[in-house]
Amino acid sequence: MQLLDLRPKLDTTSQAFFRFRRIGPDRTLITNLEGRWMVLSDEGFTRFATGALEDGSPLKAELADKNFLRQGWDETAAREALARRKSFLGYGPNLHVMVITLRCNETCVYCHASRADMDATHTDMTKETAEQSVDLALSSTSPGITIEFQGGEPLVNFEVLKHIVHYAKEKNEAIGKTLEFTLVTNLALMDDEKLDFLLDHKVQICTSIDGPKDLHDKQRKLPTLSSYDAVSHWIPKINQAYTDRGLDPTLYHVEALLTTTRAALPRWKEIVDTYADLGCRALFLRPIDPFGFAGKTKKTVEYPRAAYLDFYRNATDYILEKNRQGVQMIERFGAIFLTKILRGEDPNFLDIRSPAGAGIGQLAYSYDGSVYTCDEGRMLAAQGDQTFRLGHVAESKYRDIVGHPTVRAMVIASNLDSQPDCVSCTYNPYCGIQTTHNHKTQGSVFGRMRESNICAVHKGIQDYLFEKLADAEPHVLEAFDRWTTIRAREHFLHAPEG
């Protein structure tokens, strides 16, 4: 007896290129080459997949409008949309991380930078090395560059920080780039004199907050003092200084980052409330990385990424609820993905783009003048792995740095269209991979995405975002629109005076 096959017959002649993924029990997300997307019911997806769309139906009209049907497929629109998403490829390294010291006054349980003790003055960048680093950074083909001061704790070597700001502005007069400065600091060594300089020279300030005081102080230890008291003192003071200078506080404020440890997972509500109480308008729910001391303390700080995704959903739901109550705060991880999903634009967050920014969007300069593909490459070097070292500021030319074989390999490895798993992934238009993380955790810059923590996190966050978009609650859609609205912050830009 021959059994009848009653399953719907797929039709491959009516659809244009698409990828698909289930989001929830009765909905399927489809995306196309240029990043347009739709969420279809089971019945709608079956009609789409079997070529059973009725002429004149709203579903067929929407699929055609979003370029999902072969008949009438708009090649020009697809090409233009893809070019807009990849516009960053026309530039060069725009982020230049300058590690002006490894010395740090705090001891963090997960320190990614492999800090040095406060008496290790040999880890301070000299003014000569600083000038050579600036010269190399200003050689970038990017029309604008950001110099980001990192450490250790950059305020330990404040004289070199000031020297870089003055030198870069002076050198740039003849070069004509748009110039920005950013400082990543724990704020514990801040004083009024330092703050006046940073404000006068338009240096953006970013710090770290790991949650309420007991959690922050446990993870970011400051000998004999409270690191939380330091950061909670200076954040409102700096924000008020921006307001006193006539700047819009919704645009100009201290940025803060969270490193999510195992201890943070059950405390998502307290963490969000802490940020809100301090006047922070953005929260970046970053999972912990395997670099630096975090590799040694992973037994106490690490966790399964499924637990992180539960934390992310709870915290972001709570942020959205606070948005509905009038508290202006965004979750930056989600905002990065949503800008690509909703705006069709790439915000150029270098770790989440294809190809990634290592070597072609970012360079990192160690205190000794060594140049690396990215800050994570520099972190690995601090632990003895020189895989991502590209040269030295006193010896290497710009073309040798950006054309280095390691940079070429990382570009190939982070191109999602060349990754076996990523090429068929529904989230391909919006995602990105970190090749240094692959190297550290899996022994290859290419990695194996189905076994990757980063892949699990990116897929989990995008699942959550598309579920929210499909549910289409008005207050959520309104919040997402605000999260992805790009607002210029001209105050931080340094244009040549000539």
Burial 388-418 (b: 16+ CB within 10 A, else e): bbbbbbeebebeebbebebbebbbebbbbee
Q: Which has more pLDDT, 110 or 57?
A: 57
**pLDDT attached to residue 168:** 98
On the question of pLDDT at 57 being above 80, the answer is: yes
Burial of 139 (0-12, 13-18, 19+ CB in 10 A): middle
pLDDT band of 291, cuts 50, 70, 90: confident
Vertex 258 angle, CA 257 and 264, to 5°: 170
Greatest C-alpha distance within the chain: 90
Ramachandran category for residue 246: left, alpha or beta (phi over 0 → left; psi -120 to 50 → alpha): left
The tens digit of pLDDT for each residue in 132-163 reads 999 999 999 999 999 999 999 999 999 999 99
Q: Which has more pLDDT, 115 or 238?
A: 238
pLDDT band of 2, cuts 50, 70, 90: low
Q: How many CB atoms lie within 10 A of CB 490?
A: 8
- DSSP bridge pairs for 256: 207
E strands along 65-156, which residues?
95-99, 107-108, 144-150
On the question of pLDDT at 297 being above 80, the answer is: no
Mean pLDDT across the stretch 240-251?
Answer: 90
Ordered DSSP codes for 353-394? SSS--BTTTEEEE-TTSEEESSHHHHHHHHTT--TTEEEETT
Q: Is 33 in contact with 84 (CB distance < 8 Å)?
A: no
Contacts of 12 (CB under 8 A, 6+ apart): none
pLDDT band of 114, cuts 50, 70, 90: confident
According to DSSP, residue 96 is labeled: E
On the question of pLDDT at 3 being above 60, the answer is: no
The tens digit of pLDDT for each residue in 6-51 reads 567 778 789 999 999 999 889 999 999 999 999 999 999 999 999 9
d(CA 85, CA 36): 12
**pLDDT attached to residue 154:** 97
| Cα–Cα nearest to 273, from 289, 254, 288, 258 | 258
Q: What is the pTM of this model?
A: 0.94
| Type of residue at 372 | Y
Q: Report the DSSP pairing between strands 370-372 and 389-392.
A: antiparallel
Mean pLDDT lowest for which of 54-68, 245-259, 292-306, 385-399?
A: 292-306
